[in-house]
Amino acid sequence: MGKKNNVSEFIFLGLTQNKNVEKFCFALFLVMFSGIVVGNLLIMVTIKSSPRLNSAMYFFLRYLSLADICYSSTTAPKMIADLLVEKKTISFEGCLTQLFFSHFFGCVEIFVLTVMAYDRYIAICKPLHYTAIMSKSVCGWMMVASWVGGFLHSLLQTLLTLSLPFCGPNMIDHYFCDVQPLLKLACADTYIVGLIVIINSGMISLCCFVVLSVSYIVILVTLRSHTSEGRLKALSTCASHITVVILFFGPCIFMYLRPSTTFSEDKSVAVFYTIVVPMLNPLIYTLRNEEVKNAMRNLWSKKVISVGNEK
């Protein structure tokens, strides 16, 4: 029997059915999404224009900011616009496109965070070989591998979803297209597909988190032999990254390393890792990093001086 697909569009139930809450959420998420774009763009421009921020750590941070903007842009604008309309619809093709890019950029972010942990491990545990190991070409290939890995992961997720028959109903109890809610709507046995999704999404999150954890355990053990000043400096540079890792990986593991079921908390958790964490990343990396703050001050000073000279 061939695949049967009678669904041309999906209807989102959204975050809430309360109109007053929707208006509040519209204003809140519009401000938050603006903060994501402005904050991460500021980090990218600062790193690009500052000669002092030319190490591998800031190279990866720039691409993390890019991934943050792209990741949030796949879901947030549609969600914010839907808060003002009665019927929240998306075409079948648009749903699969949103699914592809949300998993693509989300997986890229996971790989970039993992590469950043490896960079910190080399910097602290093998400082004499850091320049040789983390050369520009190596960093470039690591970034290429992160984006290719994200593409392959997302392509598999999308093809698995596309292979399922959808014959109705077409109401998604979410605010964007994701694998778990779509599996509930498929009019076929989704056990095997759900298992592959867990292996593909959940295990990527879990394995990268384990690698990250082991890296920082080794770093902490190594720091015992450092001076107190060196220890504090190293911990300061790692603290921001550890905070972001916990905030991002916790919800991802909760969402994807489990059977194909949905919980009432899923939408709140999804809001956290698609909007809140990308908004916090620029704050976390700037507030705890004196080099970035100084570079931003210098960039602002140059901008003010150039504007003054033009007048």
Q: Where are the domains of the chain?
A: 9-304
Residue type for position 258? R
Cα–Cα distance, 116 to 58 (Å, whole number): 9
- For residue 169, whether the previous peptide bond is cis, meaning omega lies within 30 degrees of 0, is yes
Given its phi and psi angles, is residue 168 left (phi above 0), alpha (psi -120 to 50 degrees) or beta? left
Give the largest CA-CA distance in the chain: 74
Strands 88-91 and 9-12: antiparallel
Q: Name the token pair of 111.
A: 């790989």
Domain 9-304 carries which CATH code?
1.20.1070.10
pLDDT at 1: 40
Residue type for position 165? P
pLDDT at 260: 60
pTM (predicted TM-score) = 0.87
Q: Name the token pair of 24.
A: 């509040």
Name residue 305's beta-bridge partners. Answer: none
- Rounded to 10°, the helix 277-287/56-73 angle is 160
pLDDT at 241: 75
pLDDT at 263: 59
Cα–Cα distance, 91 to 97 (Å, whole number): 10
pLDDT tens digits for range 157-212: 899 888 888 887 888 888 899 888 888 888 888 788 888 887 887 788 888 888 88
DSSP-based three-state secondary structure for 230: helix
Please list the pLDDT of the chain residue by residue as tens digits (311 residues).
445 677 788 999 888 888 888 899 999 999 999 999 998 998 888 888 888 888 888 899 899 999 999 999 999 999 999 998 888 999 999 999 999 999 999 999 999 989 988 988 888 888 888 888 899 899 999 999 999 999 999 999 899 888 888 887 888 888 899 888 888 888 888 788 888 887 887 788 888 888 888 888 888 888 777 777 767 767 776 777 788 888 888 878 777 776 666 556 778 888 888 888 888 888 877 766 777 777 777 777 766 555 455 55
Total length of the chain: 311
The HSE-up count of residue 63 (CA atoms within 13 Å, CB side) is 24
Residue type for position 30? L
DSSP-based three-state secondary structure for 262: coil
List of residues 6+ apart from 52 with CB closer than 8 A: 291, 295
pLDDT tens digits for range 241-251: 788 888 888 87
pLDDT at 105: 94
Q: Which has the closest alpha carbon to 108: 66, 167, 170, 58?
A: 66
